[in-house]
């Protein structure tokens, strides 16, 4: 069997995602006939059909569905390998850490400090912004390790939970429930929930709508939650709440850092907790990454012990 080229996999993925040759060709910036020819050539190389074609529809075969999953991983891995090689060549001797704002600032500061004292770990370069977030930065090869809050798309990644904390609801200060000492999710039924721009991960949608309780995801809560404004960051979120356009569920530490007279923060008994995790690519064999993860786990453990001792 002839070797399959990365270009051919990219063509196949576009058709498999669009299930339409014309749309896939437009997405790839090419004409439709050569795309159809390329897919036919790929099928002949593999010796199996990848699509079921009729005059009205295009559908994946069983083999096509497998290749879509595996092919995405292969293309991502190839692109990530090139990106890591470029980073090593242009900025050798450093570890790139992708972070999401609000993902444990005190923890991040101490981990970076401790890494700076360890001669086995290269200098840490913090990457604050990447299209798709820290997890996407890892898969694209733009970062070696990430510190972020769950949930997020974990495919191709290994993770270790560092911190777990409760979430609270953020309400306008004049909301009818703002002075309550505690609430349950049912008390907030029918309230508008924010819509995060570009958010497609079902687990993340459930998290932000408060549907992922400790007992599991309540699908009806996702479907019935009124759609609030589209949000890009935490400041937009808090402004929308202060204006009365939405409510939201946030980690207790984020609430503590963002107290405003226009907002009220109330505990919610039956919400799932928020987790801060360290993540890295499952294929990583980097000693520097392993050292960073060990340091992060140790710092998080010490911070938990200190918090427990202070509370006693």
Q: Go through the domains of the chain in sequence order and give each one's CATH number.
A: 6-82 (1.10.10.10), 93-164+275-311 (3.40.190.10), 167-272 (3.40.190.10)
| This prediction's pTM | 0.68
Backbone φ and ψ of 38, nearest 5°: -65, -40
| pLDDT greater than 90 at residue 140 | no
Instruction: Count CB neighbours of 200 within 10 A.
Output: 8
pLDDT, mean of residues 11-35: 93
Whole-number percent of the chain with pLDDT over 70:
88
Residue 257's contacts (CB-CB under 8 Å, 6 or more residues apart) are 102, 105
Most confidently predicted of 128-137, 156-165, 298-307: 156-165
Say whether 228 sits in a helix, a strand or coil. Answer: strand
Which residues, listed in sequence order, are joined to residue 163 by a DSSP beta bridge? 276
pLDDT reported for residue 200: 67
| Contact (CB, 8 A) for 234 and 253 | no
Most confidently predicted of 1-10, 38-47, 84-93, 100-109: 38-47
pLDDT reported for residue 219: 46
pLDDT in tens, 295-310: 999 999 988 887 776 6
DSSP string, 43-72: HHHHTS--EEE-SS-EEE-HHHHHHHHHHH
Q: Is 121 exposed, middle or buried (0-12, 13-18, 19+ CB in 10 A)?
A: buried
Given the DSSP bridges, would you call strands 167-172 and 263-267 parallel, antiparallel or unpaired?
A: antiparallel
pLDDT in tens, 64-114: 999 998 888 888 777 777 777 766 665 666 888 999 766 667 888 899 999
Q: Is 54 exposed, middle or buried (0-12, 13-18, 19+ CB in 10 A)?
A: exposed
pLDDT reported for residue 278: 93
pLDDT reported for residue 106: 81
Strand order in the sheet with 157-165: 123-127, 94-99, 145-149, 274-281, 157-165
Tell me how far apart the alpha carbons of residues 308 and 312 are, in angstroms, rounded to a whole number.
Answer: 7
Segment (H or E) for 105: helix 105-116
pLDDT reported for residue 222: 47
pLDDT reported for residue 78: 78
Most confidently predicted of 49-53, 117-121, 285-289, 301-305: 49-53
């Amino acid at each position: 069997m002839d070797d399959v080229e990365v270009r051919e996999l990219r063509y196949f993925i576009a058709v498999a995602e669009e299930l339409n040759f014309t749309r896939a060709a437009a997405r790839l910036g090419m004409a439709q006939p050569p795309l159809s020819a390329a897919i036919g050539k790929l099928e002949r190389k593999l010796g199996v059909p990848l699509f079921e074609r009729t005059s009205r529809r295009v559908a994946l075969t069983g083999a096509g569905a497998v290749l879509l999953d595996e092919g995405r991983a292969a293309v991502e891995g190839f692109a990530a390998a090139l990106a890591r090689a470029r980073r090593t060549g242009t900025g050798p001797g450093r570890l790139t850490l992708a972070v999401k704002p609000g993902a444990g600032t005190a923890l991040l500061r101490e981990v970076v400090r401790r890494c700076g004292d360890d001669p086995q770990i290269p200098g840490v370069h913090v990457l604050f912004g990447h299209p798709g977030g820290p997890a996407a930065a890892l898969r694209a090869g733009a970062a070696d390790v990430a510190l972020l809050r769950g949930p997020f798309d974990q495919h191709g990644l290994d993770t270790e939970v560092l911190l777990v904390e409760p979430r609270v609801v953020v309400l306008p200060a004049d909301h009818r429930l703002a002075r309550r000492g505690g609430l349950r999710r049912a008390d907030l039924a029918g309230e508008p929930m924010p819509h995060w721009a570009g958010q497609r991960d079902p687990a993340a949608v459930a998290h932000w709508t408060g549907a992922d309780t400790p007992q599991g995801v309540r699908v009806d809560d996702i479907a019935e939650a009124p759609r609030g404004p589209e949000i890009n960051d935490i400041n937009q979120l808090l402004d929308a709440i202060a204006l009365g356009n939405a409510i939201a569920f946030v980690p207790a530490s984020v609430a503590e850092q963002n107290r405003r007279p226009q907002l009220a923060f109330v505990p919610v008994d039956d919400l799932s907790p928020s987790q801060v995790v360290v993540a890295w690519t499952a294929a990583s064999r980097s000693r520097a990454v392993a050292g960073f993860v060990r340091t992060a786990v140790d710092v998080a453990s010490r911070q938990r012990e200190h918090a427990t001792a202070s509370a006693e």
